[in-house]
């Protein structure tokens, strides 16, 4: 949804001082489509540096739970996003190994990296991660 893209773009690491940011993607599955309605954003408990970010804050899971309940179960966790301090982001080895360990679901999951000039979007199906489109 447009509001989600706007929020993601607001975390671009455009200044040398800006830290990596991360959160989860929340939305609904409609047959073959995935609609991302909301994202969680950096908050207390997260560990952020220029080149790393760890989503440790309890607010990420709390937001998933809240939207799941409010929507009567149609909204759920769809994947994750984080930023990179590079113009055209590509997944790092840390990203790839993290996704293998942490993003383990039977349904396809969405992965987004927000760079300075473009976003990298991927889909994880089983163990395979495939780039969807950069724009």
Element of type H or E holding 7 = helix 2-9
Check binding of 80 to Zn ion (CB under 5 A): no
Strand residue runs (E) in 41-108: 47-48, 53-54, 76-83
- Least distance between Zn ion and beta carbon 113 (Å): 6
Name the residue nearer to Zn ion (CB basis): 71 or 92. Answer: 92
In which residue are the tokens 């780039």 written?
Answer: 131
Contact 35, 1 (CB under 8 A): yes
Residue nearest to Zn ion (CB): 95
- Least distance between Zn ion and beta carbon 52 (Å): 8
Check binding of 95 to Zn ion (CB under 5 A): yes
Chain centroid, CA 125 distance in Å: 16
The answer to whether residue 20 is catalytic is yes
Which residue ranges make up the site for Zn ion (CB under 5 A)? 92, 95
């Amino acid at each position: 949804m447009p509001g989600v893209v706007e929020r993601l773009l607001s975390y671009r690491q455009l200044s040398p001082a800006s830290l990596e940011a991360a959160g989860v993607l929340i939305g609904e599955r409609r047959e073959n489509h995935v609609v991302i309605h909301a994202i969680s954003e950096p908050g207390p408990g997260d560990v952020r540096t220029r080149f790393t970010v760890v989503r440790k804050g309890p607010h990420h899971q709390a937001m998933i739970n809240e939207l799941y309940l409010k929507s009567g179960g149609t909204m759920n966790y769809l994947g994750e996003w984080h930023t990179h301090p590079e113009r055209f982001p590509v997944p790092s080895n840390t990203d790839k190994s993290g996704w293998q360990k942490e993003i383990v679901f039977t349904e396809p999951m969405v992965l987004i990296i927000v760079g300075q000039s473009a976003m990298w979007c991927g889909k994880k199906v089983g163990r395979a991660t495939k780039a969807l489109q950069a724009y």
